Amino acid sequence: MSRFQHNVHRRTSYESLISLITTSLGGVYDYSSIFESVYEDNSVDDSSNDVPTFIQFAKRMAAEEGTKMDEKQYITYETIVCTFLLGLIEDGLDEKTDLGKMLAHTMSSSSEDQNKIMQELEARGGMKQLRMFLTGPAGAGKTTAVQLAEKFCFEFCKSVGNIWKERTFLFTAYTGSAASAFGGLTIVKAAYISKKLGTDLTDKEKAEWKHVRILIIDEISFMTTTEMKKLDIRLKECRDPTLPFGGISIIFSGDFRQLEPVSAPESDFLFTSQSGRFF
């Protein structure tokens, strides 16, 4: 089942996409000023806007769900959202993508506008391929920041008319118990890591990764270097063979001080002086 209702169509122009992203950025600020005032007025009303700004959305979630982010969580949230929006801009310019096909006949924004907004997104942490490591003990708020970013991106997609897919944000974990906590899959199953290398993936298996924009892997400390290399190989098969992990943005989450791989030599741990340092 999808985490959100996703069959919503509204706007269909590239100009609207650029305009909505500009609106969502909500001006220039520094982080210290945000956390002096961002949660002072929990009655903020963004219902009149097509899409809220990053700050408005954070305020609303604090009021409605009690998820008041600290500064590190907010930076994480904003980095993920900016990466997501950068991806929409690039897909909108590529007629081979679903979004590009939808917007193919509506291009009206200047290249100067596009470059300016892309530079702003990159200045706030957005990347063409995000590879983020979130660490900290249980209860530190790692998952909260990611889930709030997902909710913002879903609301943005409703506004721009880009169909939200079930796997747009793909939540996985190493163990089944952790994966089931948020309705996700184990990364071993989702990325076909247990499938013998040299055995090609089917078209159906590759298609499962077509719409993934952000991959989240929890309990990363359980993974071995061998499994991480297999993940890289499999995602390259599914997407872009020339880029690490197929070019998919990945959030690795976990605590190397808490849990280690079971029955694996220290040389196969992801982050030790004896490992190959692939991670």
* Tens place of pLDDT per residue across the chain (279 aa): 345 554 444 556 778 888 889 999 985 566 666 656 544 444 444 544 578 899 889 989 988 998 889 989 999 999 999 999 999 998 887 777 777 777 765 555 567 788 899 999 999 999 999 999 999 887 888 889 999 999 999 999 888 776 789 999 999 999 887 777 767 799 999 999 999 988 999 999 999 999 999 999 999 989 999 999 999 999 999 999 999 999 999 999 998 877 778 888 888 888 887 777 788
Which residues 6+ apart lie within 8 Å of 110 measured at CB? none
Answer whether 87's CB lies under 8 Å from 81's CB.
Answer: no
Identity of residue 66: G
Domain 165-279: CATH class, spelled out: alpha beta
DSSP 269: B
**pTM of structure:** 0.88
- Label residue 272 left, alpha or beta by phi (over 0 means left) and psi (-120 to 50 means alpha): beta
Identity of residue 233: I
Q: Which sequence spans correspond to the domains of the chain?
A: 8-142, 165-279
Helices assigned H by DSSP within the chain: 14-25, 31-37, 54-65, 71-92, 98-103, 111-123, 142-160, 176-180, 187-190, 203-207, 225-238
